[in-house]
Amino acid sequence: MSKEIVFISGASRGIGTSIAESFASHGHTVIGTSRSNFTFESNNENLIPLALDISDRDSIRECVTFLKENDLSPTVLVNNAGITSDQLFLRMKDEEWDNVIATNLTGTFNLTKALIKNMIKNRHGRIINISSVSGLMGNPGQVNYSSAKAGLSGFTKSLAKEVGSRGITVNSVAPGFIDTDMTAYLDDDARDKLIKDIPLNRLGSVKDISDLVLFLASQEASYITGQTISVDGGLFMY
């Protein structure tokens, strides 16, 4: 795999950090972002932390200026940033819907639109959207989150058809329940019950996701596009 410039939103923890460190360990230059200032725990010099609010188009314009000034035009984009604001539908506040859609779906639109132009110009690029099993099978209390993640599937397919002739692939990865701080709230009983519904009888690891993302960005995956690939231990089969 040739050395790429990789841009990863939501890279300050969990899956995003694992993806960033995986690319960096293979010698790629990685710009990882979070809404607030942060630093990577790893001392890998290939990792560049950057504050960015993907729901704020002014923030994205400033980011693009920074990238141009430092000759860091991304050839790989991983749209990982996302938030949850869980609530039963009848109790869901307008802002709980608006904020989740603005970050998880519109944020992906904002960032992709800003960074895809150089990929089109150079006729080379990889766009990988991090979705969720919730977007495929639904989840009570997550109408907002599931809707946003389901929207990523349509976004992925449509964009893949538009830019495939330009040497750009667009795919989506749909993690199931991954062992991160987002599942740390589960007590032992809830965790055991959840695992019983997973054919592989375990939660996923962040490496399960980062390994697939690394593959999708590689030349070996150059004939894969428009796909949503579940990494959920068999929780949802379709």
Which residues does the annotation mark as catalytic? 145
What CA–CA distance (Å, rounded) separates 44 from 54?
Answer: 25
Q: What is the distance between the alpha carbons of residues 192 and 101, in angstroms, rounded to a whole number?
A: 31
Rounded distance between C-alpha atoms, residue 40 and residue 38, angstroms: 7
Phi-psi region at 51: left, alpha or beta (left = phi > 0; alpha = psi -120 to 50):
beta
Output the CA–CA distances (angstroms, integers) from residue 143 to 103, 136, 149, 157, 173, in the order listed: 15, 12, 10, 22, 19
Using an 8 Å Cβ cutoff, are 51 and 37 in contact?
yes
Task: Identify the residue whose tokens are 């830019």.
Answer: 163
Asked if 171 contacts 156 with a C-beta cutoff of 8 angstroms, the reply is: yes
d(CA 53, CA 70): 20
d(CA 81, CA 19): 12
- Please give the C-alpha separations between residue 220 and each of 2, 214, 215, in angstroms, as whole numbers: 11, 10, 7
